[in-house]
Amino acid sequence: MAKQQKRGLKGYYMTTFLIGLGFFTMGLMDPLYDTYVPIFLARFVESKALIGAIMTFDNMLAIFLIPVFSAISDRTRTRIGRRMPFIVICLPVSAVAFGLIPYSALISLWLLIVLVFILNLFKQAVRGPVVALMPDMIPGDLRSEANGVINTMGGIATIVGTVGLARLMDIPINLPGLGPTTEILAFPVASVLVLVAVLLLFFFVKEKKAIGKVDSDKREPILHSLKVIFGEQDKSALFILLSLLFWFIGYQGILPFVGLYSTQILLTTSGTASLAAGMVGIAYAIFAIPSGIVAHRIGRKKTIRIALATLVVLLAVIYFHDPLTSSMSASLRQYTFWALLFGFGIFWVSVVTNSFPMLWQMSTYATVGIYTGLYYFFSQLASIISPPITGAFIDLFGFRAIFLYGSVSMLIAFILMGKVTRGEPEDDPLEQK
């Protein structure tokens, strides 16, 4: 342990980068999927409600598959490790399905739906094991900084996907019988990048070097582990999970609607409106690593609570942005709104980067996957229940209400985080042994 302390994260940069490739692949696929699959579906389906139902299918799968496969990976024992079998099987299948999606959209609706189902099934099954690989390989006291690096890679991938690869959709490629065809190229290119990432992960990340692998023969029954987690006298894990439920309720209630807010309240163009959410993404990519460093110095809980308190205030300010800036020029109103959302992104990434390491700190080698699955269960639950609630608030009180809704959600999360007493590096059960 002393040797690890001296090396710091520098001794794990390559491992962190390689594990981050798993996040990078998700960051490449997700924005392209969210942007273009509805366009492909619209070629066959007129009902926007049906398209929306198909698009929420991945969230429905995620809420069940991520916790289950995360927990199963805890109990998996193979020569190549416990997470790697899921990575080398599920990610390539996801990549192939993803690359074929635009071609299927030229053939039939049913082929498109089958590929969307296969993609989401395997992508959500592998997400938990990919994420759980990081705490397996990185010491507890370095996980906030490592998570910052990995989140930065995910943020960069999102930018690459939306700004770089998306441009390839306008480049025609010649298809037999169809001639020059657009809206295809980004998907197979992203698919190849995912396959390359899998090869790098497989050949250069060795799970035999996992932290705490002395417990590797111990296989906790999944239901028993859940009972222990929720039945503990110390309720820190439960309070973190409830807290993240509310901060994701706030986040998921705001981000899907900032584009509409921009066009309908600030009267921006549709093309410009997308930059509102982009401000959050840019801040996320820039400040993920600094937020991990700050938490390493002042503590994870303190960093998260400061960030949540700031988000409460920021969202309240954004609530009053429209009336307070009504006398300004349209461009100045737009820029101030972007600046506030950029600030939102800074403090949002401070919450996300450090909450996962707090949960992992409470786990053992045998239960890392279960804690990872619980994180995703609560965050995906928020993504399912929050947008309809926010939509109702908009119908009842107008667009500005989403920011007040978000502010209250962050305040509840702040209060719940105050009841958390564990999750700092010194609380890692592996380091107490």
**Span 207-222, average pLDDT:** 58
pLDDT for 2 equals 46
pLDDT at 286 over 70: yes
Contact assessment for residue 345 and residue 282, using Cβ atoms and an 8 Å cutoff: yes
Structure-token pair, residue 429: 């059960």
Position 195 confidence tier, pLDDT thresholds 50, 70, 90: very high
**Span 81-102, average pLDDT:** 94
Contact assessment for residue 57 and residue 120, using Cβ atoms and an 8 Å cutoff: yes
Produce one character per residue of 179-207: b if its CB has 16 or more CB atoms within 10 Å, e if not. Answer: eeeebbbbbbbbbebbbebbeebbeebeb
pLDDT for 241 equals 93
**Span 129-158, average pLDDT:** 86
- Tell me the pLDDT of the chain averaged across its residues: 85
pLDDT at 220 over 70: no
Q: For the segment 328-356, what is each residue's pLDDT rounded down to a tens digit?
A: 888 899 899 999 999 999 999 999 999 98
Structure-token pair, residue 66: 């991520």
CA angle 193, 199, 205 (to 5 degrees): 125
Q: Which residue has the tokens 């900032």?
A: 258
Range with lowest mean pLDDT among 19-28, 290-299, 328-337, 352-361: 19-28
Position 218 confidence tier, pLDDT thresholds 50, 70, 90: low
Architecture of 220-424 per CATH? Up-down Bundle (1.20)
Tell me which range, 161-175, 198-212, 311-325, 381-395, is most confidently predicted by mean pLDDT.
Answer: 311-325
Position 365 confidence tier, pLDDT thresholds 50, 70, 90: confident
Task: Decide: residue 353, CB within 10 A, 0-12 exposed, 13-18 middle, 19+ buried.
Answer: buried
Position 433 confidence tier, pLDDT thresholds 50, 70, 90: very low
Range with lowest mean pLDDT among 24-33, 87-96, 293-302: 24-33
Position 366 confidence tier, pLDDT thresholds 50, 70, 90: confident
Instruction: Answer whether 1-213 and 220-424 agree in fold.
Output: yes
pLDDT for 388 equals 84
Percent of the chain scoring above 90 in pLDDT: 34
Can you tell me whether residue 418 is helix, strand or coil? coil
* Higher per-residue pLDDT: 111 or 384: 111
pLDDT for 5 equals 47
Q: Give the C-alpha separation, 406 to 408, whole Å.
A: 5
Amino acid at 199: L
Report domain extents, the chain: 1-213, 220-424
pLDDT for 345 equals 93
Task: Count CB atoms within 10 A of the CB of residue 320.
Answer: 12
Fold of 1-213: Growth Hormone; Chain: A; (1.20.1250)
Contact assessment for residue 96 and residue 118, using Cβ atoms and an 8 Å cutoff: no
